[in-house]
Amino acid sequence: MTQYSDHFAPEGLRVRGTVVVVPGRGETRATYARFGKRLAADAYRVRVVDAPVLDAPDPAAALRDLDARLAGAVEGTAAEGGVPRPLVVVGADSGAAALAALHGRAGTATGVRPDALVLAGLPGRAGGPVGSWDDELDVRTSCPAHRATLSGDPRVRQGLLGEALPEAVAAAYQDADTGLPVLLLVGDADPLADPESLERAARSLPRARLSVVHGAHHDVLNDLQHRSVAAEVVSFLETLRNDLLPLTTVQFSAW
């Protein structure tokens, strides 16, 4: 069975970049099919890898495994005709925390040097019981389609959202120090988020953008606002060609 899920740009269009997606706790590659297709429709090459296993006794080994897996994913796209730049790695939940640990102050990434990071739904609180599956879904999302995707996927591991991440991984973004451009995405209805820590992290990084999604829950890439969130990600991708400056500005708005 393939190690990746791929989403390709429409035939005939110049590919504008490469996006590798790292899922979070309990999630599978199928969790990000809608997100991957939407970015691919904007002419980005998207590859989704498996979620990192960070509940191991040796989190450093788990990070090394993720680093190797990302390298393999990127090398795989190169073998298929090159890696269109920019190369951006998107992480959600524990995937975002792992990327922050790999590329932060004590970063250990050796296999892949992306051009930017997107960190979505960074967990800012220790794990704890999330109750029933319906309770966990309420923490994750209010999007009926996403709830159905999670519930209908037999490979989704229910209950993992209540398990705490290793401390060294969970706190990595709060101590982040990377020169890479970073887009931080968080829902303002995410009960697992620590907004103050995210704001401090954003202010401490030299090239960071913190986007708060109104009404979104923990699965910020897949909640009801998924179209706007995907548009925000694409907007960030496009600014990488323009020294991180927005390509449009609002000069006047009457509402």
Q: What is the pLDDT of residues 111-120, one digit of tens each?
A: 788 999 999 9
Q: What is the pLDDT of residue 125?
A: 61
Helix (H) or strand (E) holding 145: helix 144-152
Task: Round to whole Å and give the CA distance between 204 and 199.
Answer: 9
CA neighbor of 178 nearest in space, from 101, 239, 111, 236: 101
**Strand 208-213 vs strand 182-187: parallel, antiparallel, or unpaired?**
parallel
Residue with tokens 């989403």: 7
Beta-strand runs (E) in the chain: 5-7, 17-22, 44-48, 87-92, 116-120, 182-187, 208-213
Average pLDDT over residues 6-10: 95
Note the pLDDT tens digit of each residue in 60-93.
888 899 999 999 999 877 666 678 999 999 999 9
pLDDT, residue 145, reads 98
Instruction: Give this prediction's pTM.
Output: 0.94
Closest CA to 18 of 84, 91, 106: 84
Pick from 110, 111, 63, 112: nearest CA to 87: 112
d(CA 153, CA 150): 5
Separation between Cα atoms, residue 119 and residue 146, nearest integer Å = 19
